Amino acid sequence: MKSVRHITILGSTGSIGESTLDVVARHPNRFRVVALTANKGVKKMLEQCRRFQPRYAVLLDEASAERLRAEILGAGIETEVLSGVESLEKVASLPDVDTVMAAIVGAAGIRPTFAAAGAGKQVMLANKETMVMAGRIFMDVVKENGATLLPIDSEHNAIFQALPYNFAGDLKAAGVCRILLTASGGPFRQTPLGLLEQVTPGQACAHPNWVMGRKISVDSATMMNKGLEVIEAHWLFEAAPEQIQVVIHPQSIIHSMVEYVDGSVLAQLGNPDMRTPIAHALGFPERIETGVTPLDMFKVARLDFEAPDFDRFPCLGLAYQALETGGNAPAILNAANEVAVESFLNCQMPFTAIPAMIEEVMHTTGRKDIATLDDVLAADRMAREAAHEWLACLA
C-alpha cells in the first residue's frame, strides 16, 4: 500500500490551486490536504474547507479571515483559520506536511515558498516570481535543505520530463545543447500593432488556449509571462540565456522541447490543461490519472512554429535584458510588471504602456547585487515605488 502524501496548497482558490484539488480528489487514498491558503476569497475557501476538511485554512487578509472563521464555526467544520504571512510560512513548513504546492501569484508567494524549501519539503513550484526575483538564493536553499523541486509551469514541467531522469543541473554533461521554450503568442499574435493601444482588459484576458487568472493572462498577452519563464528556466536548469530559445507555437500542444547534441529534439505534448503537469508532480516519479482529455492528433492536424516578434512583444526583450544584467534587475522587472498589469486591469493606462513603464523603472532604478531575501524584497519595494511615480506622471 502506498503512503499518503500530506499537502499544503498555497493559493488554493486560484486556477492552479483548484486544478490541484481536482487531481487530489481523484485519488483520495493517496493524498491528504492539511492546509489551504488564499488572499481573501472567503466563499470559495469555505467551499474547499467543506469538501477537503483541512486542519488549517489561511487567508492573508485579516478581515477576510475573521469572516471565514465565523462561517467555519457556523458550519461545524473542524478547520483552524489563521491569517498573515507568518501563518502562510507556518503551514508551508509543518512537520507532517511533505508536499507543498506553491501557487500564490506574485511576490506575496515568495516567503512561504522559501519556508517550504527551508523545511526540506517537496516543492511543486507554480510561483514563478520566486525563481525570477530570487533564483540563485532559492536554489541554494533547496540544495542546502534537501528539498525536492518540481516545476509546475507547463513549459518547465515539459522540459523536466524531456531531460534525462538523472539530470543533475549540468546541460553539457547531459548532452543538451538548447532548451526550446514554447509560447502560444497570446490573443494579439496577429493583431495590427496600431490597434494594441485600444486593447481592453477583457480582450487581454481572453487567452485562446488556456483558462488562467487575469494577471497571468495579461502577462501572456504581452509575452512577459514567457520572459519570466526564460529567467525561471535559467535557474531551474542552469541554462545560459543563449541556450534558451522562445518558439511561438499557437496550438499549445507541444509544451516545450529539449535539443540534444546528437540532433535529437525531445518534446512533451498534450492538451492544454494544467492538471497534466500538476499530476506529474503529485505522482512523481509515478504517473497518475488526471481526467484530462486525451490528445487527438488527427483533430490537431497541424503544428505551427514561428520566431517571436520583439517589436510586437517588447516585454520579452526586457526579460532577456534583466537576465543578462543580473543582480536585482529581475526583481525590478517583476515588480514593475506587477504594478503595470494591475494599472492596466484597473483602466489606469493603456495596454501599450505596460512595457513603457517597465523599461523606465528598469532604467531609473540602480543595479545592486542580491545576497539575501531582504535584498530581493528591498528591490521589489523600490521598483514598485518607482512604478507608481511613473503612473502618477502619466495621469
Residue 116 sits at the vertex; the CA angle it makes with 214 and 331, to the nearest 5 degrees, is: 50
177 and 130 within one domain: no
Per the listing, cell 494591475 goes with 342
Which of 194, 220, 207 has the alpha carbon at shortest distance from 352?
A: 194
pLDDT digits (tens, 9 = 90+) for 7-18: 999 999 998 999
Residue 394's pLDDT band, with cuts at 50, 70 and 90, is: confident
Domain of 347? Answer: 326-395
- Whether residues 143 and 158 share a domain: the answer is no
Residue 283 lies in a domain: no
Of 53-57, 148-152, 155-159, 216-220, where does mean pLDDT reach its minimum?
Answer: 216-220
Instruction: Tell me if 46 sits within 8 A of 20, measured CB to CB.
Output: no
In this structure, are 302 and 159 located in the same domain?
yes
Q: Is residue 285 part of a domain?
A: no
Residue-wise pLDDT for 96-126, tens only, equals 999 999 999 877 899 999 999 999 999 999 9
User: With bands split at pLDDT 50, 70 and 90, how would you rate the model's confidence at 214?
Assistant: confident
Shared-domain flag, residues 140 and 218: no
User: What stretches of 20-168 adopt beta strand conformation (E)?
Assistant: 31-38, 56-59, 80-83, 99-102, 122-125, 148-151
Whether 95 and 192 map to the same domain: the answer is no
Lowest mean pLDDT among 98-107, 170-179, 231-240, 313-322: 98-107
pLDDT of 364 > 70? The answer is yes
Strand partners, 151: 125
Nearest to 219 by CA among 115, 122, 341, 136: 341
Q: Are residues 141 and 246 in the same domain?
A: no
In the prediction, which pLDDT does 2 show? 67
**148-151: strand order across its sheet:** 80-83, 56-59, 31-38, 5-10, 99-102, 122-125, 148-151
Domain boundary among 151, 179, 201: 151
With b for 16 or more beta-carbon neighbours within 10 A and e for fewer, the 264-290 pattern comes to eebbbebbbbbbbbbbbbbbbeeeeeb
Between the CA atoms of 222, 14, 274 and 170, what dihedral angle is there, to the nearest 10 degrees? Answer: 70
The verdict on 166 and 258 lying in the same domain is yes
- Number of structural domains the chain divides into: 3
Among residues 107, 133, 151, the one where a domain terminates is 151
3-state secondary structure (DSSP) of residue 246: strand
**At 353, which CATH number?**
1.10.1740.10
If asked whether residues 194 and 306 sit together in one domain, one would say yes
In a domain, 365, yes or no: yes
Interior/surface letters 118-157, b for 16+ CB within 10 angstroms, e for the rest? bbbbbbbbbbbbbbbbbbebbbebbeeeebebbbbbbbbb
Average pLDDT of the residues in 190-198: 92
pTM, to two decimals:
0.92
Q: 148: which 3 cell numbers?
A: 525536492
| Owner of C-alpha cell 490528445 | 295
Domain shared by 158 and 146, yes or no:
no
Q: Is 138 helix (H, G, I), strand (E, B) or coil?
A: helix
Q: What is the pLDDT of residues 259-318, one digit of tens each?
A: 999 999 999 999 999 999 999 999 999 999 999 999 999 999 999 999 999 999 999 999
Residue 392's identity, in one-letter code, is: A
CATH assignment of the domain containing 81: 3.40.50.720
Same domain for 236 and 367, yes or no, is: no
Q: Are residues 142 and 162 in the same domain?
A: no
Please, are residues 124 and 281 in contact by the beta-carbon 8 Å criterion?
yes
What angle in degrees, to the nearest 10, is found between the helix axes of 329-345 and 128-144? 140
